[in-house]
């Protein structure tokens, strides 16, 4: 069954009750496709509950907590996108400050100039009371997290694996601990014991984009996950900021700017002035950008 459909359908006690009766209130192609799967699966809930108990125990042992779409504490920006996950496990506290947040992302194989640009941008965002989100990957993501911490700001790492599994990449285990220790948080939409896989990182990008008001792409080739993040952010109705150096070097970035799906920025001020006029809710996000399937889990 489509994972984000589950989040949209089960966002209230009445929605849960309807789902457990084998009904889906949403009228969409995704709902029609998921309905027979739901009705086939309902008789096997006892097995599912047993698995969930194991996962919840693992999360508790890791010191993590869970927030669901039923909870007031579910991240406010993420709640607005249609492909939100039904729950997040988190290490570190949720914060109202995350309503004003930006994702700083880019390639793992970053240049020295790219690392410097990411760190300057992240430091400037923190100085403007903006929380910095990224994906805990090597390269640009790591630079963004480290700069935010060094500036005494809040940063959130969105994981591509379960909150109770080993940190990936292993080289960033120390950074992950530092983020939590210094007032930030780690987020995961996956079952706590899930390992990273190729399909988990596009989903990670959905949460990274959805949790922020916009995404700044520092460096990214046409095959980079950061390029996907830019496209997802546009589909979410978020601000998409592409550095001038990136637009000059990459045709995909230049095309996004040319067709109005992103804005070219050269300075922090370029970002902040547009961030302050960001819409309160998405204007384009009507259908899920990335279909999420329980079968994949």
Eight-class DSSP state of 196: P
Three-class SS state of 130: coil
249-272 tens-digit pLDDT? 999 999 999 999 999 999 999 999
Contact in structure between 208 and 88 (CB atoms under 8 Å)? no
Q: What percent of the chain has pLDDT over 90?
A: 87
Q: What is the enclosing helix (H) or strand (E) of 257?
A: helix 251-258
pLDDT reported for residue 1: 86
pLDDT above 50 for 168: yes
Eight-class DSSP state of 227: H
pLDDT above 50 for 124: yes
Q: How far is CA 7 from CA 20, 66, 258, 286, in A?
A: 14, 14, 35, 15
Sequence-distant (≥ 6) Cβ neighbours of residue 28 within 8 angstroms: 5, 287
Claim: this prediction has a pTM higher than 0.85? yes
Q: What percent of the chain has pLDDT over 70?
A: 93
Q: How far is CA 61 from CA 65, 72, 79, 93, 163, in A?
A: 10, 24, 27, 17, 11
pLDDT reported for residue 145: 98
Measured in whole angstroms, how far is the alpha carbon of residue 249 from the centre of its chain?
26
Sequence-distant (≥ 6) Cβ neighbours of residue 221 within 8 angstroms: 107, 227, 250
The DSSP bridge pattern shows strands 239-243 and 263-265 to be parallel
């Amino acid at each position: 069954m489509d994972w984000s459909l589950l989040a949209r359908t089960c966002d209230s006690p009445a929605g849960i009750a309807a789902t457990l009766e084998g009904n889906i209130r949403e009228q969409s192609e995704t709902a029609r496709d998921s309905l027979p799967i739901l009705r086939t699966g309902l008789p096997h809930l006892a097995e599912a509950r047993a698995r969930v108990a194991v996962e919840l125990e693992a999360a508790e042992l890791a010191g993590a907590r869970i927030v669901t779409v039923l909870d007031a504490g579910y991240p406010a920006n993420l709640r607005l996108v249609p492909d939100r996950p039904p729950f997040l496990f988190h290490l570190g506290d949720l914060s109202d400050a995350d309503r004003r947040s930006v994702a700083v992302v880019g390639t793992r194989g970053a240049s020295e100039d790219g690392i410097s640009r990411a760190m300057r941008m992240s430091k400037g965002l923190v100085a403007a009371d903006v929380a910095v989100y990224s994906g805990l990957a090597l390269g640009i993501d790591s630079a963004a997290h480290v700069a935010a911490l060094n500036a005494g700001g809040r940063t959130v790492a969105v994981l591509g694996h379960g909150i109770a599994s080993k940190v990936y990449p292993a080289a960033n285990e120390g950074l992950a601990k530092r983020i939590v220790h210094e007032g930030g948080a780690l987020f995961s939409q996956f079952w706590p014991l899930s390992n990273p896989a190729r399909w988990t990182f596009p989903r990670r990008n959905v949460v990274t984009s959805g949790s922020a008001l916009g995404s700044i792409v520092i460096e990214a080739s046409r095959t980079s996950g950061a390029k996907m993040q830019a496209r997802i952010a546009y589909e979410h109705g978020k601000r998409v900021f592409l550095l001038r150096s990136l637009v000059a070097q990459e045709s995909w970035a230049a095309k996004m700017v040319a067709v109005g799906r992103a804005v070219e920025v050269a300075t922090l001020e370029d970002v902040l002035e547009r961030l302050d006029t960001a819409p309160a809710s998405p204007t384009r996000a009507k259908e899920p950008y990335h279909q999420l399937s329980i079968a994949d889990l």
